[in-house]
Amino acid sequence: MAINRTAEDRKKALIIGGGIAGLLVARVLSEQYNEVQIIERDACPEQPGIRAGAPQSFHLHQILPRGEVILDSLFPGFTAEILAHGAFPIQKNTLIQMINPYGAIPFPSTGGEEIKAGTYSRALLEWVLRQRVEDLPNVNFLYHQQVIGLETSANDGQLTVNGVYIRERGQLQQRTTLLADLVVDASGRSSKLAQWLSDLGYDVPESERVTSAIGYSTRYYRIHPEKRNLGVIVIEGDPATGNSSGGVLKAVEDDIWSVCIASVGGNYPPTEAKGFDEGLAQLISPAIAEAVRGAEVLTEPRGYRIPECVRQHYEQMERWPAGLLVIGDALCHFDPVYGQGMTVAAIEAETLAMCLQQQQEQPQADFERRVLQRMQEAIYPAWWRSVLEDLRWTGVTHKGPVELKGVKLLHKYFEFCMKQSTRKLLEQMQTGDFNPLYMSYFMMNWLFISPRDVINARTLFALLEGETHEEKQAILTEMFEGYEQNIEAALEEIVPHFTFEFRQPPVSM
């Protein structure tokens, strides 16, 4: 039953969960298995909308540029299709603006005479992906079914997962066994995998946790007819003043603005109309508050809270059952404020596709364990970045197998990167010049490049160009306070060695 068998023996794969991660995995596995079945606890949707199993779908979601590249690779024509379903078209005059304490950067749209990009809700994204997956001849869905356990067998001390036990959602008596050559847990934050493994006698490592006390509040507006060029506005918080609230305005399908206020550290945004308006006014920029002024309100604000973010470390287990994999939020769920979750799920699916291809060309034992390790390598840069950002705010704590190094220094470093990159980009927009160095900080946040491509002495000194000698010395002295070694050695000590392979696209402004 293990994956290291020949491709001819790979007859059936089961996926627990039909959300974004499950759909992406189904697309990948459809090329390797004769049959792929997705077990979904919700009913079959008849149109794009909020599923009971994904209540967060009401709230603003964003897939980062890296994720969209992968989607277009897995589903050729994806962008054109989601535009055809009504996604907000990014055109030549569409404003996509990022605002931080150091300025407002208007990123150029990728639109032109021919519209090649759009913005959309999570509900529409999931709908379009599901339609594409349903069109695959060897993929089918089993709706309104709940997975309640793993079916296993043992041979010479090696446990193999042969399938799952399911029952109709809401029914407590009868259960059915589904057999398969591979089971993938893509059930999200509600995953029961850790408990199932423990029940089977496995020693499950303690999970890594960030107690972030995240809250966000979302409200929908009809796009103001005189402001139809506003596509995306992102407003960040300001650690210097302790204002942890950020805001996002995003145009989506059906002529709607989705507007969200988010915060970390237990400072939960308001969920009633007057408080929501006040919350927008208290952001570091009035841009979103001014945009929605006079716009038709479509919904009341709705809140959502996440007490902590969790990363499982199954790759540390000495034993792992054959025929079992895990992906998406079931493996690691992030602070949604940074918009990494769906993009990381796409990266994981891409990673699985590469692992399967390599296994087909050069079969090796313990495939599942090696996939778990590769998945962790794919997750780590985004997780590390997210945890560091959350730790900027009072009340946030991190507990894991490895203590993060140089947190204060890294906070200073990233703040300096954001400040200099913002100022330099705004200067270049005035002069017409372009140096891709000043996009590096943002490319890292969009998961295109490794943090090590940004956190190094060469980049630091390049960002210091233009400062006087005295200013440089003052910045470096304050940043590296308490570090006796040289700058290169200090950064080498605190930045992990990320082994994941990044794929950087051409960059221009």
Of 210, 494, 508, the closest CA to residue 340 belongs to 210
Residue pLDDT, tens place only, 312-348? 999 999 999 999 999 999 999 999 888 899 999 999 9
For residue 503, pLDDT over 80 is answered with no
The pLDDT value recorded for residue 376 is: 95
Of 258, 256, 296, 261, the closest CA to residue 277 belongs to 261
Q: Roughly what angle, to the nearest 10 degrees, separates helices 65-74 and 20-29?
A: 40
CB atoms within 10 A of CB 112: 11
In CATH terms, the fold of domain 7-61+126-207+312-390 is FAD/NAD(P)-binding domain (3.50.50)
- Better-predicted residue by pLDDT, 233 or 499: 233
Q: pLDDT tier at 189 (50, 70, 90 boundaries)?
A: very high
- Better-predicted residue by pLDDT, 92 or 457: 457
Q: pLDDT tier at 505 (50, 70, 90 boundaries)?
A: low
Q: Which CATH class is domain 86-120+210-307?
A: alpha beta
**Predicted structure pTM score:** 0.92
> Residue 117 burial (CB < 10 Å; 0-12/13-18/19+)?
buried
Q: Where are the domains of the chain?
A: 7-61+126-207+312-390, 86-120+210-307, 407-494
Residue pLDDT, tens place only, 62-87? 888 899 999 999 999 999 999 999 99
Q: pLDDT tier at 419 (50, 70, 90 boundaries)?
A: very high
Residue pLDDT, tens place only, 122-131? 999 999 999 9
Q: pLDDT tier at 151 (50, 70, 90 boundaries)?
A: very high
Contacts of 432 (CB under 8 A, 6+ apart): none
